[in-house]
Chains A and B, each alone.
Chain A
């Protein structure tokens, strides 16, 4: 039988982007997921020789989305904000700790904290998610309100 970590890892593997970039599931609890990513060399860096904010941002979105899915909901991102506190160094291991803070019928929100392997507190993210339904069977597509 698959563990919760294996189940969430498998659903993350359904996403071409997460598979390509190489995010991995480390821990799963009710409404909480921890992702890890090792940024090798300077590949993911900006001209300041620190990791591009987009990497942490992507991790926040994936981690909070996965945390929503642990509660059985399939979601779409409505809004996401990040605050960057310390530069993320090249060749480091980034850990994203995401928690669902509101589990509503049509809206969910979450927070995500970032640390490196030296336990430096790198960044913090908050997100708002639109609930599209129960966790989709693979291949099922979400829908968006086109207003």
Chain B
């Protein structure tokens, strides 16, 4: 199988993963790019995701980063659960903005995977950064 075909297959696998997540019907995001141990997703910030200060609720960006990092682990075939997540908020995000999240696997161990995610706006300014540890539950191949 050539690289183009495997990338296309992985893209489909990531998209299937997003579709089978009930939570994401409430937080819809799209696949932008799939690469070697990296996935980027796009998320549109609706008004309902904002807090009283009119900016995106911290939990919304965390949920998005958790999703980006979770699907990034699919590029190495793992089925995971989050054991720890850490977020830094750098710039406020307002309703109507599109956020691009790039997830990248930092380390893959036998039992855990460490992933990081950088979120930026349309202008390329970093709005938040996340790092998370995932516990490996199994593989997707064995599941299906």
Chain A residues in the interface with B (C-beta under 8 A)? 11, 14-18, 20, 42-48, 50-55, 57-62, 65, 74, 76-84, 87, 136, 138, 141-142, 144, 146
B55 close to A (CB within 8 Å): yes
| Segment of B19-27, B30-38, B103-111, B114-122 in the binding face | B19-27
* With known contacts A57-B85, A77-B58, A82-B85, A146–B23 Cβ distance under 8 A: no
Q: How far is the CA of A43 from the CA of B63 in the complex (A)?
A: 14
Flag if B52 contacts A87 (CB, 8 Å): no
Flag if B52 contacts A11 (CB, 8 Å): yes
Selected contact of B70 from candidates A15, A46, A60, CB within 8 Å:
A46
Flag if B62 contacts A57 (CB, 8 Å): yes
> Which residues of chain B have C-beta atoms less than 8 A from A61's C-beta?
57-59, 62
From residue 69 to 104 of chain B, which have CB atoms closer than 8 A to chain A?
70, 79, 81-89, 91-92
Q: How far is the CA of A36 from the CA of B49 in the complex (A)?
A: 19
What are 26 A-B pairs with beta-carbon distances under 8 A? Answer: A15-B51, A16-B47, A16-B49, A17-B51, A17-B59, A43-B22, A45-B21, A45-B23, A46-B21, A46-B22, A47-B20, A47-B21, A52-B21, A53-B85, A54-B27, A54-B66, A58-B57, A58-B60, A61-B57, A62-B57, A80-B62, A81-B84, A136-B53, A138-B52, A142-B53, A142-B92
